[in-house]
Copies of this chain bind each other. A is one copy, B any other.
Amino acid sequence: MTSDTPSPNGRQPAHQDPEPALLDLVELLFFAYRDFTREPDKILVDFGFGRAHHRVLHFVNRHPGMRVADLLDILKITKQSLGRVLKQLVDEGFILQEAGKTDRRERRLYPTQRGHELAEQLVAPQIKRVARAVEASGKEAQTCIEKFLRQMIREADREHVGKLLETGKTHGDVSTKPAQPRGPVR
């Protein structure tokens, strides 16, 4: 038994939180994320896709020329799991594969026109939601929100993710030079 007085029937009273505001953040993060993924999920249904497809497509769209190994590294799923959704995306013309120029074992991944469009369609409601939330929080809040989210990433990955965000900005095709892979969404 804990410090709380237990009911005679073995039930437990609600937990007395040492820092209620932090627990609120924990729970708000759940709700925020739940709704953050809702709109894309709805869109995906029409394409017969699921979340996994979104992740992969988002990555590849933001990082044309990304390798399978890079995806595995960031999604942290198994080859099997990735292989299944990737194959579907390729078969249905959303992603195309190409042998690496310098290392022909590699399969470089690129979004097709369709893939690019779907990726945009999926991320649009997420950007809109974030944009509105930032505005409603006061524009100056953006800095601390970004800081907070970065700090939420486990220390071992933090720098890596930082680089991914950077290289995501440098637009151009990366088919010749590996380039750091970058973040998915959801």
Contact = CB atoms under 8 A, between A and B. Distances in A.
Q: How many copies does the complex hold?
A: 2
Contacts of A26: 123, 126-127, 130, 185
Specify the main secondary structure of chain A where it touches its partner: helix
A27 B151 contact: no
Interface string A3-45: 0001101111111110111111111111111111010000000
Nearest to A133: B151
B183 A30 contact: yes
A17 B171 CA distance: 9
A22 B127 CA distance: 6
A110 to B, nearest CB: 4
**Chain A: interface residue count, which band?**
35 or more
A11 B136 contact: no
Contact of A11 (B22, B111, B133, B140): B111
Interface of A: 1-2, 6-7, 9-17, 19-36, 38, 61-64, 76, 96, 98, 110-113, 115-117, 119-120, 123, 126-127, 129-134, 136-138, 140-142, 144-154, 157, 161, 164-165, 168-173, 182-186
